[in-house]
A = this chain, B = another copy of it.
């Protein structure tokens, strides 16, 4: 399991977003409160952000080190303002290699993608079958060994096959979940798919699990600490009445900067 954070709103300083909240994503890496499995999230970290003044593709900074021990992150984060950011701290599933290429978020074209969850029997059962569904360009672009990166490639293939526009991200992401659900049934395996995707404008984060108990996920809009912005995070980052759970089988969507909505995933 991992912890993830998505921000969308007025330009925020990355250092403020990552380090200052009482139960920040950094704190969630070494002292998480709501982990269903695992103990800590010290198996690498990553962040992605946009600078729309320059170009519409995201910047990505990833490492196999724990987020708390990176010497560069505090310094560079202080100098970056951004309207859209993903931050992820990884708690690797057993047997998954710890490497920068396995840290989230993953970036391709203008999209960022991250995942908190698990695909049981991924390498022995899912991987080979999932790869058959991938378009060549996304197949060839896979650099690591995680289920997460393959789910992202599946999503991108769905988008491309449907000539999808950014406005179709929602549909294509839910299709991806359906595909994973079908494979999970076929392989008699469980999946936890808290998936975050953004095109630099709209942000979507799902809460989906085939286990009876789903992973934690919260969202908040227009908090005191981060006004004119919406947040989605695996755990509540600070005390504020605005936080509400994203229930299992639902997803949070942030549009037009900071407009937050929670919607059902629907029958799969």
Give residues in A with beta carbon < 8 Å to B. Answer: 13, 30-31, 39-40, 42-44, 49, 51, 54-55, 57, 59-66, 68-69, 71-72, 75-76, 78-81, 92, 97-101, 107, 123-124, 127-128, 131, 136, 139-140, 142-143, 145
Contact = CB atoms under 8 A, between A and B. Distances in A.
A183 B232 CA distance: 48
Contacts of A57: 78
A29 B62 CA distance: 23
Nearest to A46: B72
Copies in the complex: 4
B79 A98 contact: no
B99 A123 contact: no
B145 A143 contact: yes
B99 A81 contact: no
A60 B72 contact: yes
Nearest to A27: B39
A120 B188 CA distance: 40
A139 to B, nearest CB: 6
